[in-house]
Amino acid sequence: MAKAIEVSDLNIYYGKFHAVQDVTMTIRAKAVTAFIGPSGCGKSTFLRSLNRMHEVIPGAHVRGTVMVDGQSLYEPNVDPVEVRRRIGMVFQRPNPFPTMSIYDNVLAGNKLNAKRIKKADADVIVEKSLRGANLWNEVKDRLGKPGMGLSGGQQQRLCIARAIAVEPDVLLMDEPCSALDPISTAAVEDLIHELKQNYTIAIVTHNMQQAARVSDDTGFFNLKGAGQPGHLVEFNPTKKVFTNPEQKATEDYISGRFG
């Protein structure tokens, strides 16, 4: 079930380095939220803090709160592994498990999270997830073949199938199309559009046309200067950000005057 994420006064650190400062926003359920901004402003760091992926780096920590469905993700009694199941992630480079079949790739997350899954149940999950990722028709006759044998765009949709197979509440995507050709990019963008009917989606993208095409809300992050933390300059409906931004810095960025 799609859930909203409420972020309040979030500060993110790598050891002593303050990477992201004071972010407050609501990421709406069943909508796509894009994060844009120049390199190094903390978009990926912020995205990874939303499912506690950030803290796998030694010394990385946050101050502030991230609430999903009324529960704070950073409370001491919350299991980060469970958080990452509920809030899935798709990365820049498609990363199917190279030795696994397409079928087993889809189930990889389920097998990590559960005990044994009956074959009949597994078949249902695989078909549903591949259909959800718009990949079923292309792979249904070769489910036993390696995931690595697919094209880059198909591999990325396989990774999306793997992410949705565990039925998360939220999908985080970190530049999911940056390694893809335009046709595969269009397929993934279409898929994002369909997935938002059931999921809350947050996406980091360098491509402003992509943010404008796929997202409902956009957050523009910026840096005050080298060595300074990134911060959220503007968070508004995408239409507003791209046609009538509130902040001059946003307008400068989207019109290509810097970044």
Q: Between 21 and 247, whose beta carbon lies closer to ligand ATP? A: 21
42 binds ligand ATP (CB under 6 A): yes
CB of 46 to ligand ATP, least distance (A): 7
User: Which region among 34-42, 147-155, 181-189, 211-219 touches ligand ATP (by CB under 6 A)?
Assistant: 34-42
C-alpha distances (whole Å) from 92 to each of 68, 83, 97, 149, 167 are 24, 21, 15, 18, 21
34 binds ligand ATP (CB under 6 A): no
45 binds ligand ATP (CB under 6 A): yes
Which tokens belong to 39? 């390199």
43 binds ligand ATP (CB under 6 A): yes
Contact with ligand ATP (CB under 6 A) among 14, 111, 240, 252: 14
Contact with ligand ATP (CB under 6 A) among 39, 77, 197, 209: 39
Q: Between 30 and 61, whose beta carbon lies closer to ligand ATP? A: 61
Binding residues with ligand ATP: total (CB under 6 A): 13
Distance of alpha carbon 105 from alpha carbon 54, whole angstroms: 24
Strand order in the sheet with 17-27: 71-72, 60-68, 5-14, 17-27, 230-237, 217-223, 32-36, 200-204, 170-174, 87-90
Find residue 5's DSSP bridge partners: 27, 68
Are the C-beta atoms of 149 and 155 separated by less than 8 Å? Answer: no
192 binds ligand ATP (CB under 6 A): no
17 binds ligand ATP (CB under 6 A): yes
CB of 8 to ligand ATP, least distance (A): 20
- Per DSSP, the residues of 154-198 read HHHHHHHHHHHHT--SEEEEESTTTTS-HHHHHHHHHHHHHHTTT
Largest CA distance in the chain: 57
Q: Between 14 and 97, whose beta carbon lies closer to ligand ATP? A: 14
Query: CB neighbours of 51 closer than 8 A, spacing ≥ 6?
Result: 73, 83, 84, 86, 87, 88, 89, 170, 172
CB of 227 to ligand ATP, least distance (A): 8
CB of 194 to ligand ATP, least distance (A): 26
CB of 27 to ligand ATP, least distance (A): 17
Interface residues toward ligand ATP, by CB under 6 A: 14, 17, 19, 37, 39-45, 57, 230
